[in-house]
Structure 1
Amino acid sequence: MAVRRRMVNAIDGRFHVLEQGEGPAVLFCHGFPDTAETWRSQMQAVAEAGYRAVALDMRGYGLSYAPTDPDLYTSLHIVGDLVGVLDALSIDTAVIVGHDWGADHAQRAALMRPDRFRALVSLSIPYTPRGEIDHWRALREQGLGDTYYAFDLMKQGAEARFAEAARSIPSILYWLSASPDPAQRWDPTNPSRHMLRPTPVTVPSWADPAYVRHSVETFQRTGFRGGLNYYRALPRTFELMPAYKDAVIRQPSLYIWGAADGLCQLFHPQTPGLADLRKTQPNLVGQVRLENVGHWVQHEAASSVNKALTSFLAKL
């Protein structure tokens, strides 16, 4: 089934979009450092199941609109992009699927525009409502201000550490996955186990070489500033969204995560109970824990993710 590629005009700028299949729309949102190409397996599965799969290079990535100012990367801006892409494609409503930062903004999209996003699938990042203090401040108050990886990524000039994409992209893919020995995997709170260490392989065994090559070539061209701006914009998002304090997501939802993912091990070391998850997502239909899978669930366990996703869609 052919993949259609085009540029569309959204609200703030032009966005690169991939499409596959016909039917009810499913919109895919990627995280850091990635592009729409990360969803090719899921798009194929969804298209074959009778849906219109749509994935975009998110703001700051690939061929899409990429302002330099971090204040232009808040959730309000990103959700505006997603709505604008739906409008450009004449799509009234979509199921939204997100991974990493894409999951965070997919969750905010479901929260802010339930009229446009009828269901939600989150990969690797559980939904957390806006609380009393922003996420970065909360981590600092937990004593992680000197060790949590994101604080290093937000520093001025952090882009230079990633700039050699032929080295940094394979390192990030490898160390954040379940491929390394558990004692060597990326640990978001241990600077000695950071994501940019030299990797023993150019392409992890679970990764499509064409996908890795595309990612390297893309970031060699664009750099990493757009992606890192998502980290820098989080406090501003917090400031702009007091009306959403403690707000729950009421659409049908699904959560998929890898048991070997360093982020998941930090934020919920054990399998979170559905009762707890449903406090903030009362219509969460379930969660899928994938054993021996790290952060890149859509690649490391593509068939399991595809099965869970298409099953969820069929029951809506």
Structure 2
Amino acid sequence: MPQPALASEPSTTVPGAVHRTVDVPGGRIHLLEQGTGPLVLLIHGFPETSYSWRHQLPALAAAGYRAVAVDVRGYGRSFVPGPVEAYRMTALVGDSVGVVHALGEETAAVVGHDWGSSIAANCALLRPDMFTAVGLLSVPYAPWNPMRPTDAFARIGGSEEFYVSYFQRPGRAEAEIDPDVRGWLAGFYTSLSGGTTPPPGTDSPFFVPEGAQMRDRFTRGALPGWLTEADLDVYGAEFERTGLTGALNRYRNVDRDWEDLAAWDGARLTSPALFIGGALDSSTTWMADVIAAHSTTLPGLVSSHILEGCGHWIQQERAAEVNDLLTKWLHTARP
């Protein structure tokens, strides 16, 4: 039976939205909510929080939807399990199911960015009865394949270490980040933004030489235009409080996910779908073949868009365009 949401309070960072904390099996999930109508569940990526959807919440509410942005477990005000394996994909899908039930709903459109895109895709894959439409931002849908992920990432790195491999050992990335969380976030956000991302042919922060750190290759200088000092304060305060171990544990489950989801080898997503990528985002350029395969792997694809000049933080960098694309797609996929 649906569980009632706990008491809400107005958000001080996203005007018009309210904070709620709802019970899901195993813990509690914090969310921001705005509007009434069909439910649209918004799932952030790394290293973000529900705040990353601050531009979408009012736009979707104005378009006639109940927009709900969650803090994924391990982030923000949501619960922070201790075991690494508690962050496997099936658990995150379970949290999303729990949120829908806790809000008294039976179905939802689900939209995700970065790791949230993968969570959203798996929500639609594992529970198509509940998640009836799926929007994927920055990271395209790639079906399960026979290669173990950590083996694939080791090959990508070559003589250097790919960042996903770098994140695998608990405590290693934390030792780099913890002394200056806000500064690390600023460098990471800037390095993946359109206009401030390192130009092609230069050393990438996604590859770590032996004995170095990711931050050694971050872009230095002014913040990108989409990120104000106040925005960075919000993110910095959240991660100063929680640390990034919960967020990093998502990466430490890629092999568990591969084992858990083996039964879905080659599975296609048939729900009405949307993909939006940034032309300057490595997730787009490295996965161009995956995007090209969407005609086969994502047969329910309604529309696909690559935004010129845009980096990784797509719904924050190009809020107006993303809002327009989301609402047009939702009116088709979830009228």
TM-score, length of structure 1 as denominator length:
0.93
Paired residues of 2:303 and 2:329 also in contact (CA < 8 A): no
Shift in alpha-carbon separation, 1:82–1:110, aligned structure 2, 3 A: same
Q: Secondary structure at the match of 1:122?
A: strand
Q: Decide which of 210, 222, 233 is 2:253's aligned counterpart.
A: 233
Amino acid across the alignment from 1:55: A
Deviation at 1:213, TM superposition (A): 1.1
Counterpart position of 2:206: 188
Quick check: 245-254 or 132-141, which moved more?
A: 132-141
Deviation at 1:286, TM superposition (A): 1.9
Deviations 1:14-57 (A, max 9, x none): 11111000000100000111100000101111111000000110
Work out the number of aligned pairs and report it: 313
Shift in alpha-carbon separation, 1:88–1:24, aligned structure 2, 3 A: same
Deviation at 1:267, TM superposition (A): 1.8
Counterpart position of 2:177: 162
Shift in alpha-carbon separation, 1:65–1:118, aligned structure 2, 3 A: same
Paired residues of 1:20 and 1:44 also in contact (CA < 8 A): yes
Paired residues of 1:178 and 1:294 also in contact (CA < 8 A): yes
Paired residues of 2:138 and 2:277 also in contact (CA < 8 A): yes
Paired residues of 1:170 and 1:199 also in contact (CA < 8 A): no
Deviations 1:246-274 (A, max 9, x none): 11111000110001012222222x7944x
Distance in 1 (alpha carbons) for counterparts of 2:156 and 2:218: 30
Quick check: 115-124 or 188-197, which moved more?
A: 188-197
Q: Decide which of 64, 67, 72 is 1:53's aligned counterpart.
A: 67
Deviations 1:81-132 (A, max 9, x none): 0001111111111110001111011101100000110100001101111111
Amino acid across the alignment from 1:175: S
Indicate whether 1:220 and 2:220 are aligned. Answer: no
Amino acid across the alignment from 1:44: P
Distance in 2 (alpha carbons) for counterparts of 1:148 and 1:265: 16
Paired residues of 1:185 and 1:193 also in contact (CA < 8 A): no
Report 1:1-316 matches (<5 A).
Answer: 2-141=16-155, 144=158, 146-157=160-171, 158-163=173-178, 164-180=180-196, 182-183=199-200, 186=204, 188-189=206-207, 191=209, 194=214, 197=217, 199-201=219-221, 203-268=223-288, 272-273=291-292, 276-316=293-333
What is the aligned-residue identity percentage? 38
Structure 2, unmatched stretches of 5+, are 1-14
Amino acid across the alignment from 1:72: A
Paired residues of 2:148 and 2:255 also in contact (CA < 8 A): yes
Amino acid across the alignment from 1:160: A
Shift in alpha-carbon separation, 1:167–1:187, aligned structure 2, 3 A: closer
Structure 1, unmatched stretches of 5+, are none
Shift in alpha-carbon separation, 1:230–1:108, aligned structure 2, 3 A: same
Deviation at 1:166, TM superposition (A): 1.7
Paired residues of 2:176 and 2:213 also in contact (CA < 8 A): no
TM-score, length of structure 2 as denominator length:
0.88
Deviation at 1:186, TM superposition (A): 4.3
Quick check: 145-154 or 20-29, which moved more?
A: 145-154
